[in-house]
């Protein structure tokens, strides 16, 4: 399950991957500069890890992956907060209510199917639901800023194991 790619990108994205990482680095650097902070190798390593993993990662997973490189828990925690503040990374809650982090920049609107057995997260796009939602909200005069659908259940792997 470890090499499984979880994140949905726009179809044109693969071609622009190199440029994508570069743009992300730029946004992060500009934001840090405003706060009088530097894009240190540690902060860069955390961002690169999120890009390479292509998954919804917990703070612990990031910490354990980068521990051999001398990156501490506090650095991981603070860097994730900063990445959230500059809208490069977003939080998703796992079945236990603990946050996982996903890359957010230039990605399509999607929802999450969350497995309560293994904690696996699958991204899904539902254009029909978006449309129905917009229509219903419009009727009520409600202006949507964002929405979040989280569907909890058992993934196909876990259902197979139970039998």
CB of 34 to Zn ion, least distance (A): 27
Q: Does 120 help bind Zn ion (rule: CB under 5 A)?
A: yes
Q: Does 155 help bind Zn ion (rule: CB under 5 A)?
A: yes
Cβ proximity to Zn ion: between 5 and 67 the closer is: 5
* DSSP SS3 for 108: coil
CB of 44 to Zn ion, least distance (A): 23
Q: Does 116 help bind Zn ion (rule: CB under 5 A)?
A: no
CA dihedral 49, 112, 85, 53 (to 10 degrees): 0
Q: Which of 99, 117, 126, 133 binds Zn ion (CB under 5 A)?
A: 117
Q: Does 113 help bind Zn ion (rule: CB under 5 A)?
A: no
Cβ proximity to Zn ion: between 94 and 123 the closer is: 123
Rounded Cα distance between 62 and 71, Å, is 10
Q: Does 53 help bind Zn ion (rule: CB under 5 A)?
A: no
Q: Does 47 help bind Zn ion (rule: CB under 5 A)?
A: no
CB of 22 to Zn ion, least distance (A): 22
Q: Using CB under 5 A, count the residues that bind Zn ion.
A: 8
Joined tokens for residue 8: 């949905």
Which residues sit at the interface with Zn ion, rule CB under 5 A?
102, 115, 117-118, 120, 123, 155, 158
């Amino acid at each position: 399950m470890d090499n499984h790619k979880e994140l949905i990108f726009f179809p044109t994205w693969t071609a622009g991957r190199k440029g994508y990482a570069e743009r992300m680095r730029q946004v992060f650097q500009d934001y840090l500069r405003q706060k009088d902070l530097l894009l240190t190798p540690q902060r860069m390593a955390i961002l690169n890890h999120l890009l390479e993993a292509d998954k919804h990662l917990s703070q612990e997973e990031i910490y354990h992956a980068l521990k051999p490189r001398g990156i501490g828990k506090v650095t991981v925690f603070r860097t994730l907060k900063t990445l959230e503040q500059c809208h490069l990374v977003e939080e998703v809650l796992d079945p236990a209510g603990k946050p996982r982090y996903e890359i957010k920049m230039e990605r399509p609107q999607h929802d999450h199917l969350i497995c309560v057995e293994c904690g696996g997260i699958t991204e899904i796009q539902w254009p029909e639901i978006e449309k129905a939602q917009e229509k219903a909200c419009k009727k009520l005069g409600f202006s949507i800023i964002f929405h979040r659908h989280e569907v909890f259940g058992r993934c196909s792997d876990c259902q197979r194991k139970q039998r």
